[in-house]
A and B are shown apart, each in its own frame.
Chain A
Amino acid sequence: MKFSELWRLSSIMYKEISFQSIFSLRAGGALPRRGKDDVRTLISNAEVSTILSKLITTLFIAFFGFVVFLPLMAGTSSSYPTRELTAVGSVSTFLAVVLFLISFMGLQVSTSFVSSKAIDVLTPLSLSKSDISHIVFLCFIRIFDIPLAASAMVLLLAYYFIGGSFLGGLAAFAGIIVTEAFALMLTVGLARFFYSRVAGGGGKSRWKTLLRFVFMLVWILPSFGIYFVVNFAGQIAQSFTSLTQGFSSILQLLVLIYPFSYGYLVSFATFSFQASYLTVALSVAACSGYFALAAYCVKWVTRTVGRIGAGGISTALREVVKDTVVSPQVPWLGTIRKDLRIASRSPSYASLFLLPAIEAAVLAMSFSSFNEVGLSSTLGLLTGMSVVVLMLPPTLVSIEGLAASYTRSLPLKKKTLISAKTLLSTLTYAISLVVLFVVALYVGRSYFYILTFGAIHLFSVAAATMLELIILTNKFWKEGFAIGNIYVRLSTYILIIIPGLAVVMIPIIAALATFLLAQSLTLAVFLGLAVTEFAVATAYVALEK
């Protein structure tokens, strides 16, 4: 079959996989609304979302490329050693970050690719096995097309602007190709591992649950790492350069390690500085070795991706079932258990549960720069943490859409649903408060404000999540929590945070104002307002059927 035809067919498969990545893994499978316009909107949302995700990755890469090569473009400063070492650091940093960004930002859609049933439709068609493999591989390449092209372009452009040579350009190009091959292998390997061991693996034992939690952490933490990479781009580049400088005495060893081998080779080919033949020879040998490894990676990716097309991958082995005993709980507890179980198998849901605690830990790091964790800093921290918690209710409601065409038939009361999800959101906030408290204790800062104001603010956060849930359930209860309904109205998903934010901010603003006017009344005002909000919201929920 002609390449153009294979490419065209891969585009159809790619659209389906993008759709599944948005509505199967992230948001759930069921799209029970049958209106044509709804489905069309969902499809276009999925396409836009996929393109946006690619563009964001590309922007990160471009931004990072600009930051790491800036010292070389502007000339070296006192904080950087020599332009030769700076070039080694810049190229190595860029390659490392591209590896990280492509592999982890493409993870969700790759997992969808690995688990996709879309490819099954190709098998019965009159296509040869090799054509199917080619279509599947091209489809996989489409997932990364823009970031892969952008990475190569950014590196070559940056290299051109620093006045690079032809040989150096060739070495840089080889470096980025190798990096991209490594990134593709990493992302396919991780996605396959995730699908077979976490998403596809069940299990009743506590050990399996713990294992899933650990997998999930390993899965999620790099996603947060991406934001650190962007925030600390300059420092990372400088650290790589310093590392290069620090190890210059054992340069012969460093040039053997990826990505420094390419950094060194590019630098040598650009500036032709004095270096021992042995070091250059080692660098060339290491780069050739990595190139060969990259060729193997591409082969592995092609084979693995082709195998996925030929029949998918097997999920975890079935374990021996000893009994069929279940432990029914009261409905609200049953709902919480169900939500937690689903979240423990979906990175996007789990990340929202973990985000407040991780944010609290990151914010708590700033304690070292405070003399005292006073009222204003505590209230600032509480504001930041509660905003993140307010993102939970819409997500928790969207979990209800996962099997809405079935679960809507269950006799679940609206107030039970609201109570369960409020409790879960408030508990998430409480855990992040505990993190803050522990860090304050550890760094020896006063924890009085965190303990008192944090504990009281729980009432306010509970009221805010109740308000969000009341609005959301009133909006979607009748028509169903179908993901289609919620995702079609992205504005609902985002704007819902505004009333919640107002509720959590009222006691905070009032406390700050009281602190300026009548300091002794601060705690009383804060407590009074938070408890009142909670009481009003609880009473409203209690009246729901």
Chain B
Amino acid sequence: MQEVAVQVEGLVVNYGPFVAVDNLSFTVNSGEIYGLLGPNGAGKTSTLKVLVGVLEARAGKIEVFNMPISQEVAAKSQIGYVPEEVVLLDSLTPREFLEFIASIRKLEASAANSRLEKLVSAFELKQFFDTPIAALSMGNKQKVAVIAALLHEPRLLVLDEPLIGLDARSSKILKELVTFHAKRGGAVIFSTHIMEVAEKLCDRVGIINKGKIVGEGTVNELRKLVKSAEGSLEDIFLKVTEQEAGMQDTIRALEEEEKQP
């Protein structure tokens, strides 16, 4: 039986009166890539932030490898996180930043350097290694964040829109790494707006809308849910998030406006 990597039960996150995540529950098993999908503002990032300890939940139970998230240091040691907004320590260079990460994660110099060399080479970051992060392009900043997340070989990867800004080669490498990580028994929670990527990469997806899970399972299970035998994940997504209705009318109206002289 597969070990439960992440267990979220009755999660509630609010910003003042606004409830971003409303009684959310899901489970991710070891060896599984779980896609968390949803429209903008659905509550995906808030959920992931709570999971990695960046944000405090108002209510709910979260466990990472059977450890409550309240055991902060132990739980965080198991996680590698790529945030949606890549805000790193901009005045540091990638070398200084990754050295800081390796220090906090108590990594052995030899092991850290051996892994770092491979990751830096894979993501072609070497030439920017001593350039301040502030001066890097968005894609290169994203690469620094991805390397920082992978450096300590975590058991759980939490990736919030990790492909944004990455070039084709780096995207491919990251997707391969994620697949390899899951095959080796690690768990991945992956948030993305690119439905094709989610469809190909994820074993299961959870579709979240207005803070609630509105659909969960493999793509085939979701097809059954929306009673569509052939629809793509995009079609399923639009149906369960109730975004399909009215969409065609909006497109038609815009096209009509374009036609007018």
Contacts and interface: CB of A to CB of B under 8 A. Distances in A.
B107 interface: yes
A480 B83 CA distance: 15
B107 A328 contact: yes
Interface in B120-165: 120, 126-132, 134-135, 145
A372 interface: no
B225 to A, nearest CB: 31
Interface string B42-63: 0000000100111110000000
A479 interface: yes
A206 interface: no
Contact of B92 (A329, A330, A342): A342
A409 interface: yes
Interface residue tally on A, bucketed by range = 35 or more
A199 B134 contact: yes
Nearest to B158: A409
B104 A410 contact: yes
Interface residues of B, number: 55
Nearest to B20: A34
Interface string B69-93: 0001111110101010111111111
B168 to A, nearest CB: 23
A480 B120 CA distance: 30
Contacts, number: 155
B201 interface: no
A321 interface: yes
Interface string A309-328: 00000010011010011111
Contacts of B117: 324
Contact of A411 (B56, B76, B128): B76
A342 B91 contact: yes
Contacts of B240: none
A302 interface: no
Nearest to B107: A328
A490 B196 CA distance: 47
B132 A201 contact: yes
Provide the main secondary structure of the chain A interface: loop
A406 B81 contact: yes
A83 interface: no
Nearest to A200: B135
Given A403-B89, A405-B83, A406-B81, A315 B132 contact: yes
Nearest to A320: B127
A335 B92 contact: no
Given A35-B15, A324-B120, A410 B76 contact: yes
Interface of A: 29-30, 32-37, 199-204, 315, 318-319, 321, 324-331, 333-335, 337-338, 341-342, 345-346, 402-413, 478-480, 545
Which 3 pairs from chain A and chain B are nearest by CB?
A334-B103, A328-B102, A411-B76
Given A318-B127, A324-B117, A403-B89, 20 more contacts: A30-B85, A35-B15, A202-B96, A203-B93, A315-B135, A324-B129, A326-B98, A326-B109, A326-B113, A326-B116, A328-B108, A330-B106, A331-B104, A402-B90, A409-B54, A410-B76, A410-B104, A411-B76, A412-B73, A412-B104
